[in-house]
Structures are given as C-alpha cells and as structure tokens.
Amino acid sequence: MSGGKAFRYKGPFDSAPAACASGAALRVSGRGRSRGPLDFARGDRRGRAEVRGFLRHLSRRALLGLGLAALLGCPPNTREQSLPPGLTTRSLPAAYEGRKNPFSPDDAGVLEEGRLLYFTPHQGLSCAVCHGNDGRGRGPMWTYIEPYPPSFADDALLDAFRERQDHVFRWVADGLDRMPMPGFGQVMTEDDLWKVITYAWHLGLQLERNPDAKPSGGRQ
C-alpha cells in the first residue's frame, strides 16, 4: 500500500434500508496499491503503520455494521460464494512470480503454527472473522461484507493453492484490489504468510474430502 488514500471507505452503510437490501454492512471501495517488493522478514515501518491503520478502521466498521444489521433484523445473504474470475490469470510483479509454498498441507507442526496465526487477531481482525473457523467463508463478518469470502474448498481456490501458489501469496501479502481483503505482508514475516496459507489450504482439503469436516484443533 502506498499513500494515505490507497483505500476509500463507504460504510458500514450508505443508508439503513440499503444495508438490508444489499445484505452487506461493510463495503470497501477504491484501489489497493502495492508498495513494491517487500522485505517480509524485516518489514517496513511506514507500511506497517498503514496496514495497521486500515485493519483498525475495517475492524471498527465491521463491529458497527454487525450491530446495526442485527438491530435492523437484516436477513442473512444467500448469494453464492466463489473466487472472483480472473484472479489466477493476472500478471504478477517479478517479486512474486514463481514463488512456491515451502510447506506441505499435511505437516502437523506447520499446521499448528498456521492455525494460531489464522485465529490470532491482527489489529482487531483474524482470518477466521471473515473466512470462518472451518474455511467455508462464513465467519461472523461474512454476511456483512461484499464481495463475500469464498470457501477454501472452492475448486478454483484449491487449484490456486496447488498450482498458483505465487498468486495466493500475493493475495495474502498485498490484499486484493477493490475487495475488503487487506494485505498482511507488512505485519507478518514471509514464513508466517506461508504457514497461514498452508493452514487455509488444509482447511480446503478437509472440506473437499468431507463437507461436514471441522478443522483439527480449530476454535468452534
């Protein structure tokens, strides 16, 4: 992210009726801009401050949105969740192209570390808040954000975990343009990013094998 206006916020509601009509309490518009190649192990002080500020803002908006939606009696959304098209075919900056996940989704030690990162709040938000404890994409915030988080068992996302690992790494490190997915590359080390990605991949594989599966050691 770069500059003070990398994101523009609208929400949590433009109006109360619009909130229920859309089924989304939180909207994030604008364009996320990468700060370029990062030293993930050392981090960037200014970048960390920007990311933390964004996460704090998103967290406050989400909590307000959840409360207002409950007060208004907004129905849960029933919109189908899927990975936005084209994400895995976009060109990548040279700093990301060809990156491979050094970990396996059946490495118990890595999964435990990834699980802790997945459930740990980063400036008020954890991965599970949006993506859910089991990776279905239905955490406490999912109904009130748009676009809605896909399940980690989504065919396109599972394919990305296996074959487009450099793309997945960039999504988690930089966030996604015009979507409420923030980047964590300046608040996590490179190893930690891969560990949380590996845990997400593991959740997707569990759901693929058994749609009713629950994460090993996850918080329920």
Kindly report, residue by residue over 62-72, the tens digit of the pLDDT.
455 445 444 44
Residue-wise pLDDT for 160-219, tens only, equals: 999 999 999 999 999 887 777 888 998 899 999 999 999 999 999 999 999 876 655 444
Residue-wise pLDDT for 4-22, tens only, equals: 333 232 333 333 333 333 3
Closest CA to 146 of 29, 8, 61: 29
Structural domain span for residue 148: 8-78+93-209
Find how far residue 32's CA is from the centre of its chain. 14
Report the alpha-carbon distance of residue 175 to residue 211 in Å, rounded.
27
The reply to whether 30 falls in a domain is yes
pTM score, whole prediction: 0.66
| CATH number, domain with residue 195 | 1.10.760.10
Contact (CB, 8 A) for 132 and 145: no
The reply to whether 107 falls in a domain is yes
Question: Looking at residues 131-154, what average pLDDT do you find?
Answer: 88
The reply to whether 218 falls in a domain is no
Report the alpha-carbon distance of residue 35 to residue 143 in Å, rounded.
30
The reply to whether 219 falls in a domain is no
- List the Cα angle 46/38/153 in 5-degree steps: 110
Give me the number of domains the chain comprises.
Answer: 1
The reply to whether 85 falls in a domain is no
The reply to whether 87 falls in a domain is no
Report the alpha-carbon distance of residue 82 to residue 193 in Å, rounded.
22
208 CB contacts (<8 Å, ≥6 apart)? 153, 158
pLDDT for the residue 60:
54
Query: What 3-state class would DSSP assign to 166?
Result: helix
Residue-wise pLDDT for 78-136, tens only, equals: 455 666 666 777 889 999 999 999 999 999 999 999 999 999 988 678 899 999 999 99
pLDDT for the residue 58:
53
Report the alpha-carbon distance of residue 40 to residue 193 in Å, rounded.
9
The reply to whether 103 falls in a domain is yes
Q: Is the pLDDT of residue 148 over 80?
A: yes
pLDDT band at 34 (very low <50, low <70, confident <90, very high): very low
The reply to whether 169 falls in a domain is yes
